[in-house]
Amino acid sequence: MADEAKAKGNAAFSSGDFNAAIKHFTEAINLAPSNHVLYSNRSAAYASLHQYDAALSDAKKTVELKPDWSKGYSRVGAAHLGLHQYQDAISAYKKGLEIDPNNEALKSGLADAQSESASASTSTSRSRAAPPPNPFGDAFQGPEMWAKLTADPTTRLYLQQPDFVKAMQDIQKNPTNLNEYLKDQRIMQALGVLLNFKFKAHGAGDDMDIPEADSPPAPQPSQPAKEEVKKPEPETVPEPMEISEEEKEKKEKKEKALKEKEAGNAAYKKKDFETAIQHYTTAMELDDEDISYITNRAAVYLEMGKHEDCIKDCDKAVERGRELRADYKMIARALTRKGTALVKMAKCSKDYEPATETFQKALTEHRNPDTLKKLNDAEKAKKDLEQQEYFDPKLADEEREKGNEFFKQQKYPEAVKHYTESLRRNPKDPRTYSNRAACYTKLGAMPEGLKDAEKCIELDPTFSKGYTRKGAIQFFMKEYDKALETYQEGLKHDPNNQELLDGIRRCVEQINKASRGDFTPEELKERQAKAMQDPEIQNILSDPVMRQVLIDFQENPKAAQEHTKNPMVMSKIQKMVTAGIVQMR
């Protein structure tokens, strides 16, 4: 937990949020009060906020905990320098150099402290006859220069180059030495940063990948030139956060793991699955905090047909992902991959149950369209297999005969139950649909009966019973014109079928009755109300041409006579007559 708080502090420091950095470092110190690095890092954060007293207190604690650590003295010196305690700063830097004589940060700090001390002890007054100062001299004075260079992302990179740092120290000691470095584009870039404007150097930094670095305090706006320029308050440049050896090793392993993953991806694309597995396995060994290595290896196993190994890896990825609180999309991916493997292993309908459950779990993590499609496909495959497994024509015939017996006894609900079971055993038998349609008709369930009759005709268009069932239902629904069409269609397949002929006769009687208007007011009102719900009648009445035809029939006999010669118009007129909307006299 202390390492986690420290990592958050480092991240906040790097982004320039020093208050947050102090908060996280304090949490880490409370958890690990003997860790000298934490005090050092918090000292740097305090210094970045110019809270030098607090920075000094933490720096001294750092030295107390780790007297042989040179960076602690660097923190002490920086805090003293911020408090204008130049001699104390010089003393601290010298102690640090006794431990680490080659430490550049200590050398630079010592030089700054000595320079500030010398400046403070001498008079700042200048004679009017003295030669004018170097116009760029003030830009290179004091620790403010290093703060500005660290704040700029381009020059921050240059500070990692020893020859650049040495050149800047040379110019800082004697600004007139700037002339010797004018051809160095890095120096010109730094000068632009220090003077608050940019030099655009050809090719400089165009293709550089500038790494993230610790952000220093924001540079202060430049002051207008005066005859006497007051020395700015010294600012310390916080040194980078200290990374333990363990963290360095961890970072190196993560980098190696990513390279192994990339190699595994390349091998996978080439269908070199064994090599891909080796790379992903190595990546897993190097870094157990990234479950993508596991899911990738699972994908390889899936491609190779090693479904059990794929499932094991997916389970491992889900378990480890929950421990790490990984992205829910990654966990969903592992579950989807497991479901896919389970589908490929399925041999019967029951084998699809764990697959559909796994897909559903994946969707609760992340609703991915691909996962949803896989779930729907698995459910359909399960249903199809269930039908195949349940298919038994012999048992279907037995159930149909039982239904027939109940139908004869006028026990229609029981008959429907057996007909339904028969259809489950054999969903391709048109006779059973016909019989169940007859049951539904007796029960007054006309829509269900009509659906079964249409299914019967679909399965066997030559089966006349399907047409008699459908025509009868349409007749009972008082859709006489539709019933007539159904009976006529049936006669095409069985011209001598008496039921179909009787059905046509009954439909013609009703249609003629409608044409003569032989309805009671109640019957007419019922028929008209029913007709107005018919989409076909609604379309006819909303057609402007047909509205004009109806007007002509009432007011213009000559035009009406012409309309009667149009078969399409007369067909629509007949439908409205049958429906009771129009009466012919």
Residue 447 has pLDDT above 90, yes or no: yes
Residue 75 has pLDDT above 60, yes or no: yes
Count CA within 13 A, CB hemisphere, residue 453. 26
* Mean pLDDT in residue range 218-237: 42
Query: Residue 238: which of 153, 147, 169 has the closest Cα?
Result: 147
Residue 532 has pLDDT above 70, yes or no: yes
Helices and strands per DSSP (H, E), number in the chain:
30, 0
Query: Which of 192-201, 279-288, 481-490 has the lowest average pLDDT?
Result: 192-201
Residue 220 has pLDDT above 70, yes or no: no
Candidates 3.40.50.300, 3.90.380.10, 3.30.70.580, 1.25.40.10; CATH matching 393-516: 1.25.40.10
Select the more confidently predicted residue: 251 or 515.
Answer: 251
Predicted pLDDT of residue 528? 67
**pLDDT tens across 18-34, in order?**
888 899 989 989 988 98
Instruction: State the pLDDT confidence band at 116, using cuts at 50, 70 and 90.
Output: confident
Predicted pLDDT of residue 339? 95
Q: What is the mean pLDDT of the chain?
A: 82
* Mean pLDDT in residue range 232-255: 66
Predicted pLDDT of residue 242? 58
Select the more confidently predicted residue: 143 or 505.
Answer: 505
> Using CA atoms, how far apart are residues 278 and 271, in angstroms rounded to an integer?
13
> Using CA atoms, how far apart are residues 374 and 382, in angstroms rounded to an integer?
12
The fold of the 250-389 domain, in CATH, is 1.25.40
Predicted pLDDT of residue 209? 32
Residue 217 has pLDDT above 50, yes or no: no
Q: List the Cα angle 210/213/214 in 5-degree steps.
A: 155
Query: Residue 460: which of 473, 472, 469 has the closest Cα?
Result: 469
> Using CA atoms, how far apart are residues 442 and 245, in angstroms rounded to an integer?
87
Predicted pLDDT of residue 467? 96
Predicted pLDDT of residue 429? 94
Predicted pLDDT of residue 179? 75
Query: Residue 514: which of 477, 553, 467, 481 has the closest Cα?
Result: 481
> Using CA atoms, how far apart are residues 213 and 93, in angstroms rounded to an integer?
24
Predicted pLDDT of residue 402? 95
Kindly compute the dihedral angle of the four CA atoms of residues 45, 47, 53, 57, in this order, to the nearest 10 degrees: 50
Instruction: State the pLDDT confidence band at 106, using cuts at 50, 70 and 90.
Output: confident
Instruction: State the pLDDT confidence band at 232, using cuts at 50, 70 and 90.
Output: very low
* Mean pLDDT in residue range 51-66: 92
Unique residue bearing structure tokens 């719900």: 533
Residue 516 has pLDDT above 70, yes or no: no
C-beta atoms surrounding 542 within 10 Å: 9
Residue 455 has pLDDT above 90, yes or no: yes
> Using CA atoms, how far apart are residues 333 and 366, in angstroms rounded to an integer?
9
End-to-end CA distance of the chain: 97
Listed as own residue / partner, the contacts of 559-566 with beta carbons closer than 8 Å and 24 or more positions apart are none
Residue 397 has pLDDT above 50, yes or no: yes
Instruction: State the pLDDT confidence band at 518, using cuts at 50, 70 and 90.
Output: low
Query: Residue 273: which of 257, 295, 293, 296 has the closest Cα?
Result: 296
* Mean pLDDT in residue range 335-341: 95
* Mean pLDDT in residue range 559-581: 76
Predicted pLDDT of residue 202? 38
Enumerate the domain spans of the chain: 1-120, 143-195, 250-389, 393-516, 524-579
Candidates 1.10.357.10, 2.40.50.140, 1.10.260.100, 1.10.10.10; CATH matching 524-579: 1.10.260.100
Residue 362 has pLDDT above 50, yes or no: yes
Predicted pLDDT of residue 59? 92
Residue 365 has pLDDT above 80, yes or no: yes
Predicted pLDDT of residue 122? 65
Structure token digits, residue 385: 């297999």
* Mean pLDDT in residue range 431-456: 94
Q: If you classify domain 1-120 with CATH, what class do you get?
A: mainly alpha
Residue 579 has pLDDT above 80, yes or no: no
Residue 275 has pLDDT above 70, yes or no: yes
Residue 233 has pLDDT above 80, yes or no: no
Q: Please, are residues 155 and 165 in contact by the beta-carbon 8 Å criterion?
A: no
Query: Which of 283-292, 528-537, 538-547 has the lowest average pLDDT?
Result: 528-537
C-beta atoms surrounding 181 within 10 Å: 18
| Identical fold, 1-120 and 250-389 | yes
Query: Residue 504: which of 487, 521, 520, 481 has the closest Cα?
Result: 487
Predicted pLDDT of residue 361? 93
Instruction: State the pLDDT confidence band at 164, using cuts at 50, 70 and 90.
Output: confident
Query: Residue 105: which of 238, 228, 195, 203 has the closest Cα?
Result: 238
Predicted pLDDT of residue 345? 94
